[in-house]
Structure formats: structure tokens, C-alpha cells
Amino acid sequence: MKTNNNENLREAARLFEKDFADSYPNELDLRGKTTYSKKHTKRMERMFKRHDSIFYMLTSTTKRSVVTLVMTLLIFSNTLILTNAEARAAIWDFILVTFEEYSDLTFKSTDESPDYLEAMYFPSYIPNGYDVYAENFEDVSLAFVAEFVNENTGEHISFAQTVLTESAWVVDTEDTDNEYLSINGDDGLLIHKAEHDSYSLHWSNGLYQFVLMGNDRDTVLKMAESVSLYDGSLDIKPLDLNSVGSANISYDYNDDGTVTLTVGLTGEFSITLEAILPFKKGDEISITLGKGSGDVGIGLHQAFEPVSSNHIILNENEETIVILTIPEDGEYGIYLENLQTDDISFVVTLDKKFTTLE
Amino acid sequence: MLMLYLNLCETDSDKQKMEQLYNRYNGLIYSIAFGMLSNKQDAEDAMHETFLRILGHLEKLSINDSHKTKAYIVIACENICRDVLRKRKKIDVVSLDEWDRGIHSPIDTEDEIIETSSVSEMHSAIHSLAPIHKEIIILKYAKDLSDKEIATFLKISASAARKRLERARKALASKLSSDEVI
């Protein structure tokens, strides 16, 4: 008898799936029977310790430390971005997808690209007068950050080494001059934003990707050219991220399609959850702020610019619900700002259905 | 001031699930990988890759659905090992085209044959398919994955996934129309 929609095949496949699984030894009988190498054991420990994606946060040079945060886990959203790209360029060892006000920058990984940082790279050239601050280098990390500070002039230079991922950096390319160049034979992109007189240099050596940000072109390039395996010779002070503000975020995808973010912000610090999903005009995003105390700014953000904002005073006894209405079709970030000097933490539940994640 | 900072996000429930899966299945995965690759280092690499692969599909895995989860993990592992073998070129991995040559069936209407066959006939026929065809039948019809999801899981293009599925259905129809089954 003829059936519709392959129903018999589905049923047969389900029966076969069990046969297939049963044709292999019982996994419980094989537990603990093998001694793995140290390398493998360490690698798996890393995976369990930190298996998620990187949040990339790049500050702008506005008065407050406005941070753009990219949820790089959402590779699907990158796909959506590509379809909306106004211009697309596959150039050298990276892909730059350019929008009106920003670009997505993705470096190509290779078979040799480690899943985690295995070796620390660092500039051997440090300009005179700069102190060196850096996180502790951990080989279970996906990223390593350093900061060079000239206390006399107040100038900062930032450096990061990260693993190569499929996810994109969101870089500010509104009114910028972009220069394609070579760093020790590797392809790089130097972005100059005249408005802030800042230079952002991105490149990869095939193993890792690197970023250097500073205000002097020659210094940035000279430091980049000097980046090599760290020899331990520098006086590196611990980098206190809280001194400039920081954000900690964890998230859970709920069974009902909502996403719950637990956000902690240090004083007077703000973040933008960028490029989560494209929205349609008139879409409403309901954001539930958990019980708590303090002042929070919340609104929509698009391509580094706030589109709407709300000043919310958290309620200690009940949740606060904020409805954000999308003004025009497009991709939006959700902007969260700590408006007080004390640290703050709260839970955000987004009830936009994240269908592309299913 | 320019400042750059990177952070990591973690989902406790996912981490817990990954560890549970690893604790339960590591011996089996290693056993399969070592059996196919005959090399401890390569087997460990394949096991690591297998768990990296299933990281992106954790929501489809459950500790309690043992045979479904087991099938998923085994398919991932075997595909990864086959890729290693292809790279090594030390064994003759039968290509899809060669499998097709063995089909030889002038079937133009495999849809009709499949739709008119009974569950038990198809159950038997699936048993006699090539491993890659068995696997894609499981992914498509037992697990109801979309072509895109299959492509992501097997690290092949969506068009390759569709082609492989088409070949699997042709092979299945061929078995069903022959005397080998029933």
C-alpha cells in the first residue's frame, strides 16, 4: 500500500537506528579500559573547561567605554549577514564583508590552526615609555589580551592573540580608510578611522589571528612586525580589566526557544549584544530584567549607534519587562548599560524565538 | 582610550552534558577509531574531533536516549575516521561513484518503490546498504535532520548531502526491487 511522506521509511530507519547502535559494543563495557596520552587528556579537559565561542568586544573611543560584543556562537547569523551584505570581498587570507557602517572580518583557518592557544605570541618591540600589562597566558584559552600604556601621555595600545574561528570580528569601517598589507609575509588589514585617529591592524599567521590597536600608524606596524613567540624577557604587569570596565555573560538556550543571558557589568560599563538576528520592522523584543537594584540603560543598537534607549530602575521585588520595538528592517544589537558606579548583575531573558538556532 | 577585551561564554548545562557524554562514550569511540585507523595518536585525534563535532549538536543529544545518541556519536566518529583514511590514501575507500556502479538498477521511480514497500522490507534492505548510505538514512529519516543539518554534521556541502541521500534512496530502491531482500 502506498504511503505518504516516507512514513514507512522513517519507521524502518528508526528500527534500523537501534540495530545500528546495538551492533557496536556496549559503551558501558568499554569505559575505563583505555589509558589516553597526556596530550589527549589535557585537550579534552580544555574542551570541557571552555568549549564555547569567544565574545569579541571592541571599544569605541566615545566618552564611555561602549563595547561591541559579538555573539560568535551564532554562526547562522553570519550566514544571514552574508546575504545582506552590500559589498563582499574575498581578499587574501581573510574575508571582509562590508556593510554601510561596519564590516565582518573573518580569517581563514588551516589544518594547523590550534583549537586553543598553545603558544604565546607577543611584540618584541615596545615603544619607549609604555608599560606592559597582560592577562595570564593560559593554554586552555581561546584568546589572550595585552595592553600597553604610556602613563605620561595617557596613550594606549592594545594587542590580542586569538584562535582562528569561523566567526567574524565586527569592525568599525564607517568613514575609514582600509589598507591591505603584509605583516612578515602574512596578509593583514589596517583600518584607519580619522574621526578618532585610531589604527586597527588585523592579521593572521595561519595559526592564530592578531589584533593591534593604537593611535600611531608606524608604531602599530612596527609592533606587528615584531610579533613572534614570546621569549619571556619582558616585565609584564597583570592586566586589571576591571579598571577599564568589563562584562561577564553566560547564556542558556531554553526549551521554549527563548534565550536567557546572565549579565554582570562593572561600574559605568556598557555592552551591546550585536548581530543576534535580523529583525523586521514592528517586531517587538520583550526583555525581562531579573529582580535587582540599580539603574540600567537598555535599548537598540545598530552599527555602533544607539537607536533607542530606556532608563530602567531595577525592582528588588519583581522582574522588569521592557518592550523594544524594531523601527526598520535590519540587524540590531541590544544595548545594556550600567548607569551606576557600583557593579551590577542581572538576568536578561530574550523571548524572540531563535529559530535559526534550532 | 582604545581597549580591547575578549571573554568566553560558558553554558554550565552544556558543559555538564559534554562531560557525561565523554565519560560514557569515550571507550567506545576510541575503540571504533582505533579499529579503523590502527594508530593510537590518530584514534585520539579522531575522538577529539568527534566530540568537537558533536559540540555543535548537543541539543539533539540526550544522555537518556542511549541508542539514538550512540548512533549519532558513532556516525560522527566513523565519518571523521573515513576522512582521515582518505587523507592517508593508504586504503582504498570506496567512492560514492563506485558504489553507484554496483547499483545497476534502471530505477527512475525509486520514490514509488520506497513508498510502496513495507516497514519490514525496508528495514531489511537498509541493513544491506553501504555504510555511508545507512548513515545518511539514519540522519535523514530516523533523526529527521534537514539537508543543511546533515551537511553541517558530516562537514560536507548541502548539495553533497542531497546527492548522497539521493544515491542512498536509489540504492535502497534497488535492494527493494531485487531478490536480495525479503
The rounded distance, in Å, linking the Cα atoms of A328 and A303 is 14
Given a cut of 60, whether residue A73 has pLDDT beyond it is: no
Q: pLDDT band for position A271 (50/70/90)?
A: low
Q: What is the mean pLDDT of residues A341-351?
A: 64
**A219 vs A269 pLDDT, higher one:** A219
**B167 vs A113 pLDDT, higher one:** B167
Q: Which three cell numbers stand for residue A322?
A: 521592557
Three-state DSSP class for B151? helix
Region of poorest pLDDT, from A24-38, A164-178, A214-228, B168-182: A164-178
Query: Are A321 and A298 contacting, i.e. CB atoms less than 8 angstroms apart?
Result: no
Q: What is the mean pLDDT of residues A98-104?
A: 63
- Give pLDDT, residue A88: 33
- Give pLDDT, residue A251: 55
Given a cut of 70, whether residue A177 has pLDDT beyond it is: yes
Region of poorest pLDDT, from A13-17, A195-199, A230-234, B36-40: A195-199
Partners of A48 on chain B (C-beta within 8 Å) are 15, 18-19, 22
The rounded distance, in Å, linking the Cα atoms of B113 and B169 is 10
User: Per residue in A123-154, pLDDT tens?
Assistant: 999 999 999 988 777 765 667 778 888 888 87
C-beta neighbour count of A120 within 10 angstroms: 18
Q: How far is CA A129 from CA A151, A154, A196, A271, in A?
A: 8, 11, 22, 31
Region of poorest pLDDT, from A11-25, A164-178, A338-352: A338-352
Q: What is the mean pLDDT of residues A216-236?
A: 93
- Give pLDDT, residue A256: 63
A324 DSSP β-pair partners: A285
Contacts 24+ apart (CB under 8 A), A354-357: A354/A253, A354/A257, A354/A258, A354/A259, A354/A277, A355/A257, A356/A74, A356/A76, A356/A77, A356/A80, A356/A277, A357/A74, A357/A76, A357/A253
The rounded distance, in Å, linking the Cα atoms of B32 and A24 is 9
- Give pLDDT, residue B63: 73
- Rounded to a whole number of angstroms, the distance from the CA of A86 to the nearest CA of chain B is 25
Cβ contacts below 8 Å, chain A against chain B, sum to 209
Three-state DSSP class for B13? helix
Q: pLDDT band for position A223 (50/70/90)?
A: very high
- Which residue carries 590550534 as its cell? A114
Partners of B125 on chain A (C-beta within 8 Å) are 12
Q: ∠B20-B24-B28 over CA atoms, to 5°?
A: 145
Q: Which three cell numbers stand for residue B16?
A: 555538564
Of the candidates B6, B127, B140, which has its C-beta nearest A145's C-beta? B6
With CB atoms and an 8 Å threshold, state whether A143 touches B3: no
- Which residue carries 574575508 as its cell? A95
What is the dihedral sign for C-alpha A211, A216, A222, A226?
negative
Q: What is the mean pLDDT of residues A209-216?
A: 88
Q: pLDDT band for position A222 (50/70/90)?
A: very high
Three-state DSSP class for A69? strand
Test the A interface: residue of B9, B44, B119 with most A CBs within 10 Å: B9
What is the rounded average pLDDT for all residues in chain A?
Answer: 71
- Give pLDDT, residue A52: 38
For B107, phi and psi rounded to 5 degrees?
Answer: -85, 120
Mean pLDDT for each 10-residue chunk of chain B (182 residues)? 32 70 90 90 89 78 79 92 77 41 50 86 92 92 87 83 90 81 44
Given a cut of 60, whether residue A183 has pLDDT beyond it is: yes
**A329 vs A71 pLDDT, higher one:** A329
Beta strand A236-238 with A247-253 is unpaired
Q: pLDDT band for position A158 (50/70/90)?
A: confident
Q: Which three cell numbers stand for residue A186?
A: 602574512
Q: Which residue from A43, A127, A101, A166 is spatially nearest to A305, judged by alpha carbons?
A: A101
Length of chain B: 182
Q: How far is CA A158 from CA A209, A355, B1, in A?
A: 14, 37, 10
Given a cut of 80, whether residue A205 has pLDDT beyond it is: yes
Which residue type occupies A333? G
Q: Which residue from A218, A237, A241, A240 is spatially nearest to A125, judged by alpha carbons?
A: A218
Beta strand A236-238 with A131-134 is parallel
Region of poorest pLDDT, from A181-185, A321-325, A332-336: A332-336
Q: What b-and-e string marks burial along A252-261, b requiring 16 or more CB atoms within 10 Å of the CB?
A: ebeeeebbbb
Enumerate helices (H) and strands (E) in chain A, giving the number of each.
4, 26
